[in-house]
Structure 1
Amino acid sequence: MRHSPCIGICKLDDATGYCLGCGRTGGEIGDWVAMSESQRDAVWSNLPARLSKLSVRVRLLPWTREELVDWAAETIEARRGTWVTGAPGAVAEFPCTAARTISVEAGSDPIIARAPDAAFRLRLSDKVRAFSFSEGGPIVLGLPKARATIASSSVLQSLGPDRDAIDADHQGQQLFDYGIGRKNSRFCVRTGDDVFASSLAGQSGRHWSEVMATIGMQIISASPNRVVESAAARIEVFAKIPSPGEQSPTGAHTHFLPDFLKSGEEIPSSLAPPDYAAPVAIFYPHESTN
């Protein structure tokens, strides 16, 4: 069944009679539960033009879970752009370009994509919603806030073996939450090197800025896997961490940028979903990828 267009902003525009949140008329809102699927689809087809007339910034897309699964798998298989998860200043990017070798497992749940330098997993429940902000622009996936919260820390913390690793070979390696203090994502490092794991464990309970000041160069030299995840998405990056002054690789990579972390944002303000939802992943089409 297709979900309701409601985004929690329920106010009719005096001039047009359309809701300033979803674009429906008052009658369509009142009759929604009693409508047939074909009637609901007809309303959905009218909403883009109405929302454009209202200059509404954020658009809830009508995709069912099955349609969302098909779309997400196709973005990878057709190499249409880049998937991103994390918070501003602490993100992982999984690019899907024609030049990259990527395999895809696109079953009903989850979608898993693998490349030599990274792995990506996306779990799409029937509560995940897709939001757009411009024609052909980024698509933000969101969950209700209560479902989007992920266990995270504001200091470096050992999480033990990475039992939720995408591949079994990594499930015995040690995972450390780097402590960025976000509700909807966490930035972790993972290692199978016992000596390096001991060094990280010795920093437990310290803010990431103290960790960087103390063993930052050791972290860069060891270049552990970076694991960035939300309640629905996980990107594991295996590529080397660039040394100071080096550029990030053209393939999968992470960004850890202290100045951007100071904002405390969960997502760039220009891509923030409605208040009832929290972001779990972003897809940037090729023309919009930065």
Structure 2
Amino acid sequence: MRHSPCIGICKLDDATGYCLGCGRTGREIGDWIAMSESQRDAVWSELPSRLANLSVRVRLLPWTREELIAWTNDTIAARRGTWVTGAPGAVAEFPCTSERTIDVEAGSDGVIARAPDASFRLTVSDKVRAFSFSEGGPIVLGLPKARAAIPSSPVLQSLGMDSQAIDARHQAEQLFDYGIGRKYSRFCVRTGDAALASSLSAQDGRHWSEVMMAIGMQVIAASPNRVVESAAARIEVFTKIPMPGDQSPAGAHTHFLPDFLKGGEEIASSLALPDYAAPIAIFYPQKATN
């Protein structure tokens, strides 16, 4: 069954009679539970044009869990763009472009993709929703806020062995939450290097800015795996960390940008979701070339 188009903004437009949140009429809202699936699909098909006429910025998409899994698999298999998770200033990017070697598998609970430089896992429950903001623009996946919160820390914290690693070969390596202090995502590093693990453990409980001052160059030199995750998405990046002033490598990479972290945002304001939802991942379609 398709979910309701409601996004929690329940106010009818005086001129058109359409809801300023979902685009339905008052009657459609009242009859929704009693409608057949074909009737609901017919309403869903009308909503894009109605919402465009209302100049509604964020639009909930009608995809079921199975459709969302199939769409996610296609974005990777057909090399349609880039998946991102994290918060502004602390993100991981998993590009799905034509020149990259990527293996992808879709299952009943989500999608796993593997490339030589990174892995990506998206777990799709029936509570995951997809939101668009413009035709051909980014798609943000979200969960209700109560389900989207994850254990995270405002200071560096040792998390022990990475039992949730995408591949078993990494599950015996140590994971450290870098402590960006966000509610819906966390930026971690993972290492099997005993010297680096010891240095990171010695920084336990310190703010990331203090950690950078103390052992930042050691971390860069060792280039541990970066693990950026939300309640339903995880990107693990294996590439080297660029030296200060150098550009990020082509392909999968992370950004850890102190100036952007100061704002404390969970997502860029241009992609903010309705109040009830929090972001778990973003897909940026590849821009068409002439």
- Could you tell me the TM-score, scaled by structure 2's length? 0.99
Aligned residues: 288
Hey, what does 1:43 align to over in structure 2? 43
* 1:51-88 CA distance string (max 9 Å, x none): 00100000000000000000000000000000000000
Residues 1:178 and 2:168 aligned together: no
Hey, what does 1:137 align to over in structure 2? 137
Hey, what does 1:34 align to over in structure 2? 34
SS at the partner of 2:120? strand
* 1:115-141 CA distance string (max 9 Å, x none): 000000000000000000000000000
Hey, what does 2:245 align to over in structure 1? 245
Partners in 1 of 2:88 and 2:42 — Cα distance?
38
Partners in 2 of 1:30 and 1:110 — Cα distance?
33
* 1:231-271 CA distance string (max 9 Å, x none): 01000000000011210011000000000001100000000
Partners in 1 of 2:254 and 2:228 — Cα distance?
9
Partners in 2 of 1:107 and 1:32 — Cα distance?
31
Partners in 1 of 2:232 and 2:3 — Cα distance?
19
SS at the partner of 2:73? helix
Unaligned runs of 5+ in 1: none
Partners in 2 of 1:97 and 1:42 — Cα distance?
34
Partners in 2 of 1:190 and 1:250 — Cα distance?
21
Matches within 5 A, 1:83-98: 83-98=83-98
Partners in 2 of 1:202 and 1:119 — Cα distance?
29
Hey, what does 2:120 align to over in structure 1? 120
Residues 1:235 and 2:256 aligned together: no
* 1:36-56 CA distance string (max 9 Å, x none): 000000000000000001000
Residue identity opposite 2:240 in structure 1: K
| Misfit runs of 4+, over 3 Å | none
Hey, what does 1:189 align to over in structure 2? 189
Unaligned runs of 5+ in 2: none
What is the deviation of 1:110?
A: 2.9
Hey, what does 1:285 align to over in structure 2? 285
SS at the partner of 1:24? coil
Partners in 1 of 2:114 and 2:164 — Cα distance?
16
Matches within 5 A, 1:147-186: 147-186=147-186
Partners in 1 of 2:155 and 2:213 — Cα distance?
14
What is the deviation of 1:191?
A: 0.1
Residue identity opposite 2:187 in structure 1: F
Partners in 1 of 2:277 and 2:287 — Cα distance?
26
Partners in 1 of 2:17 and 2:245 — Cα distance?
56
SS at the partner of 2:273? coil
Partners in 1 of 2:52 and 2:196 — Cα distance?
54
Residue identity opposite 1:237 in structure 2: V
Matches within 5 A, 1:54-93: 54-93=54-93
What is the deviation of 1:105?
A: 1.2
Identity %: 82
What is the deviation of 1:287?
A: 1.2
SS at the partner of 2:124? coil
Residue identity opposite 1:140 in structure 2: V
Hey, what does 1:100 align to over in structure 2? 100
* 1:102-159 CA distance string (max 9 Å, x none): 0011111231000000000000000000000000000000000000000000000000
Hey, what does 1:274 align to over in structure 2? 274
SS at the partner of 2:260? helix
